A and B are shown apart, each in its own frame.
Chain A
Amino acid sequence: MTLSATSFQLVADLVRRRSAIQLTPGKEYLVESRLLPLARDAGVDLETFVAGLRTARPDVLTEVVEAMTTNETSWFRDGAPYQAMRRTEIPRLVEARRGVGRLRVWSAACSTGQEPYSLAMCLSETLPPAMSAEIVATDLSEQVLERARSARYTQLEVNRGMPAQMLVQHLRRVGTEWEIADELRRMVTFRAHNLLDTPPPGPFDVVFLRNVLIYFDLATKRGILDRVLRVLRPDGVLVLGAAETTLGVHDGWERVTIDRTSVYRPLGAAVTTIPAPREPLAATGTDGPPGTSLPRGPLTAHRTGHHAGTPPTAVRPTGGAAR
């Protein structure tokens, strides 16, 4: 079925008022796919459900906004940013924060927690014993934060991008689900936050703000990047989604290319790069049983970026760099 223009506009207005997220024409499919389950639960068709939003209770409106703004998420999404963190950014920041003994990370728009927990895995395997890390993970939706705090994931969810090595190392089976290990959970604090509001108290060394700017108009993007700049340390690093950039949006950032990904640093930052040891670029199948060494897999992988609801069109496999 196709949503009428009036209905689309009604949902777009609602979402914009409540979250500042822009649903531009062409995103009808997103409305359909996200709201159809709610309409089904209500026992009506989608048009009727949307028309009813004019007079709906506040909790229904909240549910609609949350359904529209919750992103699909996977572990170590896109691979390359985590590779960059592990190989250059974490070693560099560890060196710079020797006196402080702690790194602080903000995972913004963290959805159901895969991103902050992926970062926790990454940090737990990279930080020297004398360093600790605190990850502040925020999202607009209380509903997804509740799920993230539970730290439990279904089999289908752990299949999405979680390398088997990491699964057996950092999660345990609880009934039919998998639960994140306590030491990783202790690193992450979840809190509700709207990106239009004042950020959580900084300063942060790393900010992950991935696949969320794409939903905002230019002025809102600029405002968000401005606020991030204010809580990021001058030599800190911002990681955006693969399809996002600060270029043409906010001129306070400098793009730095690391391997096959781009990260952003506050412009004019005095940054000392710590050379990282080279790792093999991809699983080659030539290095013995894979149970013997970590890390590999996610941190060596790369995916051409795409975001929720927009699968890549034609796809073809290519050999990994080391194959």
Chain B
Amino acid sequence: MRALVIDDSRTMRRIVAGTLEGLGFETLQAEHGQEALDHLEAGEQVDLACIDWNMPVMDGLTFVTKVRANPQWRNVTLMMVTTESEHGQIVRALAAGAHEYLIKPFTPDAIRDKLDLLGLVPVEEPA
């Protein structure tokens, strides 16, 4: 399982990627939407993208719109991970095609809960 972590904050990328890696994901990172698109266009296969909203060059909402417009990437699950917490903003992101929405700040448990909802379920290893 591979995840693309898109955030202009290196610290935030590290936190999100660290949590996902703890759950068994491989991760790759991008500083903005365009860099993330470049990864996808280069043929990188990812199951999940965690996307900040406000970033230079290309924001998260534009990235979501572009990914959803390309049937080739229809299997990429899109989750916004952002400080944007207004009701209307969440509706906009969902309407644009985001599957889930996680508001910063969050706990690692919250990421796991969201993966549950998305069917990207971490399971216990048999003892």
Q: Closest Cβ of chain A: how far from B21's Cβ, in Å? A: 11
A156 touching B116, Cβ below 8 Å: no
Task: How many A-B residue pairs have C-beta atoms within 8 angstroms? Tell me.
Answer: 142
Shortest distance between the CB of A161 and any CB in chain B (Å) = 4
CB contacts under 8 Å to B, within A263-316, are 281-286, 288-291, 297-298, 300-304, 306, 312-316
For the complex, what is the distance from the CA of A319 to the CA of B118, rounded to whole Å? Answer: 10
Q: Chain A's nearest CB lies how many Å from the CB of B104?
A: 8
Cα(A3)–Cα(B15), bound, Å: 32
Q: Which of A5-13, A115-123, A166-174 is the contact stretch? A: A166-174
Tell whether A160 is near chain B: CB-to-CB under 8 Å: yes
Determine if A321 is an interface residue (Cβ-Cβ < 8 Å). yes
Per DSSP, are chain B's interface residues mostly helix, strand or loop, or mixed?
mixed
Q: Do residues B110 and A323 form an inter-chain contact, with CB atoms below 8 A?
A: no
B33 to chain A minimum Cβ distance, whole angstroms, is 18
**Nearest-neighbor residue (CB-CB) of B95 within chain A:** A291
Interface string of B113-124 (1 = CB under 8 A from A): 111111111111
Are B105 and A156 in contact (CB-based, < 8 A)?
yes
Among B4-12, B50-58, B75-83, the stretch that binds chain A is B75-83
Q: How far is the CB of A316 from chain B (nearest CB, A)?
A: 4
Partner of B86, one of A161, A173, A284, A291: A173
Cα(A303)–Cα(B114), bound, Å: 11
A199 on interface, CB distance cutoff 8 Å: no
- Render A130-145 as a binary contact track against B, CB cut-off 8 A, 1 for contact: 0000000000000000
Task: Kindly report which residue of chain A lies nearest to residue B64, judged by CB atoms.
Answer: A289
Q: Is the CB of B117 within 8 A of A163?
A: yes
A283 touches B107 (CB 8 A): no
Residues of B within 8 A of A283 (CB): 77, 99, 117-119
| Chain A residue contacts of B85, Cβ below 8 A | 155, 173
The 8 Å CB contact of A285, one of B76, B114, B117, is: B76
Query: Knowing A164-B100, A319-B1 touch, does A291 contact B94 (C-beta < 8 A)?
Result: yes
Give min CB distance, B109 to chain A, whole Å: 7
Known: A290-B97, A290-B98, A317-B24. A160 touches B109 (CB 8 A): yes
| Cα separation A165 to B91 with both chains bound (whole Å) | 8
Contact call B90/A319, Cβ cutoff below 8 A: no
Closest A residue to B90 by beta carbon equals: A168
Shortest C-beta distance, A58 to chain B (Å), equals 34
| Contacts A156-B105, A159-B110, A168-B94; A286 near B74 (Cβ below 8 A) | yes
Asked if B90 contacts A159 (CB within 8 A), the reply is no
Chain A CB within 8 A of B102 CB: yes
- B123: nearest chain-A partner, CB-CB: A304
Q: Which residues of B contact A291 (CB under 8 A)?
A: 91, 94-95
B26 CB, min distance to chain A CBs, angstroms: 10
Closest to B102 in A: A159
Q: Convert B14-25 into 0s and 1s, putting 1 for each residue whose CB lies closer than 8 angstroms to a CB of A.
A: 000000001111
Contacts of B96 in A (CB 8 A): 289
Chain A residues closer than 8 Å to B23, beta-carbon distance = 315-317
CB of B85, distance to nearest CB on chain A (Å):
6
CB of A156 within 8 A of CB of B78, answer no
Residues in A with CB closer than 8 Å to B124 are: 304, 306, 312-315
- Chain B interface residues toward A at CB < 8 A: 1, 22-25, 47, 68, 74-78, 85-87, 90-91, 93-103, 105-107, 109-110, 112-125, 127
Would you list 28 pairs from A and B whose C-beta atoms are within 8 A, ordered by A residue? A155-B103, A156-B106, A156-B110, A161-B113, A161-B116, A164-B90, A164-B93, A173-B86, A283-B117, A284-B119, A285-B76, A285-B77, A289-B68, A289-B95, A290-B99, A297-B118, A300-B119, A301-B118, A302-B116, A312-B124, A313-B125, A315-B22, A315-B23, A315-B123, A316-B123, A317-B121, A322-B119, A323-B120
A302-B121, A304-B124 known; 6 new pairs, CB 8 Å cut-off, are: A168-B91, A172-B87, A283-B99, A288-B97, A289-B97, A314-B124
- State the A residues within 8 Å of B (CB): 74, 79, 155-156, 158-161, 163-165, 167-168, 172-173, 281-286, 288-291, 297-298, 300-304, 306, 312-323
